[in-house]
């Protein structure tokens, strides 16, 4: 089908600001369902052209729009804060055009996905379906530290001004070490008002509530396709949104018409079969555009594309590297199994005596605990590239596990394959000599050749142990229970491998360093060393909860 493109179409918002859109549609006169894609990354890229052309050739009008304050659009760019109203106005504008049937869908990934949700909760009447890929969560869900992550400054720098900034010319590794956090932006040569404003709101409050959506699924009444990858550095939001919509959407219609697609992908989904040193096989890259087309053909054109007759969850099981269909997430046949931390008191490093057991510590056993020192001046590294394009992957942590400030717990060598598919959580009993500190948890696959493959991880900041809206310092040397969200995975630990858990107090620069002083977050440079204790006695039985899936 031949297409036509109208560039720099001006779309007026309710306050008079006009946004710039490129409209891709079939040349043949007629009315077509519309797909609205709103982006801060400029509508002029080759990927934008390719995607707009693809859907236009298949009978859709595609509206690619620069968000407020970016590219050719008027106004000031303030990440997320104007997107709900602007999204509503853009959808209703598209629906009213003479080339549109009145049915509108939205799509896009990352920032483009989160602003779909911020739009959906405003309930534009013409919105009929969404495709949300690698969706960021509400504030503090994926960075539970009270302050933005160091890599967030890289993103803010990239989208500062009206055009894309070159992040590769900044020495980010040096910048991330800068203290206090509030002035880190000085090292980029461009001060960031957004960075400094976010530092001023180090807990969930009214400032952040304006751009929250994950507590408002009861306002959303549209079918949604949720797409992400197990190594997406914002992965946690996608399964949460699928669960939130299947359980809490506005209507039974919406609750029953959700799709979840999870691949073995990073934030840049479906681009390569290989990530780091792991090759997930030829089937790991799919015809994603074709899958998305079937979705929009069904919901915007009313065609029977067959997609809604398929199970609601399609997921890639790593380790055995196969796709599988399921009816729900978490999976219906999950066997929630606690693996308890055990040692004789010396679990420090992979050369220590830590082990994992499904048996609780014996009541009559000798009480033991593991201890390590956390020095913010020498944090445990999180393996990642310096820019925000992708944070971490299936990296090898065997060298980092040589450190004494990393506690390592391992099962015996597995005598058969073990599948872990679902959300991962840790119940951690710990104390600290400090009034505030962090605890980190990492789940890994320990290969027979020594490769320690990171699967997923999580962090808790002690002052936020009761919630991001209820900060309070801790009492030194008092035992607290910390619940650590380690996100999700789907992975088969093969026979001969071992399940491994790491415990520490830093994962830098994925998260900022807790300076252990209890001072206002992001404002100071003073730091102290913390003495940490991890407990695994009967009354304080630290354990990681793994979703074990029975194997046929």
Catalytic entry in 232, 395, 405, 512 = 232
Question: Helices in 126-210 by DSSP H: which ranges?
Answer: 150-158, 172-176, 193-199, 206-209
Query: How is 335-379 classified by DSSP, letter by letter?
Result: EEEEEEEE-SS--BSTTS--EEESSPPPTTSPP-EEEEEE-TTSP
Closest among 116, 120, 99, 118 to 107, alpha carbons compared: 116
Report the distance separating Cα 44 and Cα 163, nearest Å: 11
Q: Label each residue of 310-332 as H, E or C.
A: CCCEEEEEECCCEEEEECCCCCC
Residue 267 appears among annotated catalytic residues: yes
Please tell me whether residue 183 adopts helix, strand or coil conformation.
helix
Report the distance separating Cα 168 and Cα 139, nearest Å: 26
Catalytic entry in 20, 73, 90, 110 = 110
Catalytic entry in 267, 491, 497, 540 = 267
Closest among 124, 113, 115 to 79, alpha carbons compared: 115
Check: CB of residue 165 under 8 Å from CB of residue 274. Answer: no
Q: Return the bridge partners of 541, or none.
A: 536
Sign of the torsion angle spanned by Cα atoms 338, 342, 347, 349: negative
> Residue 438 corresponds to which tokens in the numbers above?
């962090």
Active site residues: 110, 232, 267
């Amino acid at each position: 089908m031949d297409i036509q493109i109208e560039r720099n179409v001006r779309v007026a918002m309710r306050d008079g600001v006009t946004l710039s859109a490129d409209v891709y549609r079939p040349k043949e006169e007629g009315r077509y369902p519309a797909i609205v894609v709103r982006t801060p990354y400029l509508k002029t890229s080759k990927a934008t052209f390719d995607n707009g052309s693809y859907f236009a050739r298949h009978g859709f009008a595609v509206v690619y729009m620069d968000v407020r304050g970016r590219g050719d659009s008027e106004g000031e760019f303030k990440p997320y804060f104007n997107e709900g109203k602007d999204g509503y106005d853009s959808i209703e504008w598209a629906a009213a055009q003479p080339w549109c049937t009145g049915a509108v869908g939205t799509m896009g990934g990352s920032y483009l996905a989160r602003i779909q949700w911020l739009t959906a909760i405003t309930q534009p009447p013409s919105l009929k379906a969404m495709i949300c890929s690698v969706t960021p969560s509400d504030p503090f869900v994926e960075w539970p530290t009270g302050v933005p992550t160091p890599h967030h400054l890289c993103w803010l720098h990239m989208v500062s001004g009206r055009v894309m900034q070159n992040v590769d010319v900044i020495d980010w590794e040096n910048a991330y070490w800068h203290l206090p956090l509030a002035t880190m932006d000085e090292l980029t040569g461009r001060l960031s008002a957004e960075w400094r404003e976010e530092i001023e709101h180090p807990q969930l409050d009214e400032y952040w509530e304006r751009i929250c959506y994950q507590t408002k699924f009861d306002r959303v009444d549209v079918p949604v396709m949720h797409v992400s990858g197990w190594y997406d550095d914002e992965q946690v939001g996608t399964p949460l949104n699928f669960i939130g919509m299947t359980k809490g959407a506005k209507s039974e219609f919406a609750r029953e018409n959700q799709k979840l697609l999870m691949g073995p992908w990073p934030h840049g989904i479906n681009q390569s079969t290989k990530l780091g040193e792991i090759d997930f096989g030829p089937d790991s890259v799919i015809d994603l555009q074709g899958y998305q087309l079937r979705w929009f053909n069904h919901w915007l054109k009313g065609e029977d594309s067959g997609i809604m007759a398929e199970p609601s969850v399609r997921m890639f099981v790593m380790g055995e590297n196969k796709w599988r269909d399921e009816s729900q997430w978490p999976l219906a046949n999950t066997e929630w199994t606690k693996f308890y931390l055990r040692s004789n008191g010396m679990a420090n490093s992979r050369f220590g005596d830590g082990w994992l057991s499904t048996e609780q510590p014996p009541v009559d056993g000798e009480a033991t605990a593991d201890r390590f020192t956390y020095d913010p001046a020498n944090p445990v590294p999180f393996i990642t590239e310096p820019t925000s394009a992708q944070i971490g992957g299936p990296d090898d942590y065997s060298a980092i596990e040589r450190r004494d400030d990393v506690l390592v717990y391992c099962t015996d060598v597995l005598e058969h394959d073990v599948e872990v598919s679902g959300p991962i959580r840790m119940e951690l009993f710990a104390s600290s000599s400090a009034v505030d500190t962090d605890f980190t948890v990492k789940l890994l696959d320990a290969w027979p050749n020594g490769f320690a493959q990171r699967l997923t991880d999580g962090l808790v900041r002690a002052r936020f142990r009761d919630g991001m809206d209820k900060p309070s310092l801790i009492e030194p040397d008092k035992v607290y229970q910390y619940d650590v969200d380690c996100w999700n995975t789907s992975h088969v630990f093969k026979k001969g491998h071992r399940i491994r858990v790491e415990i520490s107090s830093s994962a830098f620069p994925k998260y900022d360093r807790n300076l252990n002083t209890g001072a206002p977050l992001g404002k100071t440079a003073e730091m102290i060393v913390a003495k940490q204790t991890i407990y695994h006695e009967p009354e304080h039985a630290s354990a990681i909860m793994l979703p074990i899936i029975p194997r046929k």
